[in-house]
Amino acid sequence: MEITGRVVANANVKKTNNEKEVVNFSIAINRRYTSNGEQVEDTTYVDCSYWRTTKVAPYITKGVIVQLSGHMSASAWLDKDGNLRAGLNFHVNELTLLTASAKSNESKPSASSSTSRRSNNANKGLEPSKQFN
């Protein structure tokens, strides 16, 4: 299954009890439709887990659009107040950054010629996608 969404907060790396590391982040998936002649926007938030490498974590920053391939699971639990909660978790097998992250912009050398500056401004924020598998 593939999903595409916008990262809602910077990714974080956590260690499990058995010392494995996982990159956790959440994405928002927007859906627009018309109901009774009125435009409606519905947003679904999905928690994501990426186990393959933690090197991707600095690139998964708030606002970045990602395309993910993997599988979905649902879970239910009781919160600290005893209320029943439920959530979706997407277990990521493949991750592609569709927009530039702040981290990738930091590592780019700045352009010095006027023609380079012109082309950089025309495509500001665009670069080939980064794929992490």
| pTM confidence score | 0.71
Total residue length of the chain: 133
1-22 residue pLDDT tens: 999 999 999 999 999 999 999 9
As a whole number of angstroms, the distance between CA 100 and CA 62 comes to 11
Q: Is 71 exposed, middle or buried (0-12, 13-18, 19+ CB in 10 A)?
A: exposed
As a whole number of angstroms, the distance between CA 92 and CA 70 comes to 5
DSSP string, 73-85: EEEEEE-TTS-EE
Domains in the chain, CATH or no CATH each: 2-132 (2.40.50.140)
35-88 residue pLDDT tens: 999 999 999 999 999 999 999 999 999 999 999 999 999 989 999 999 999 988
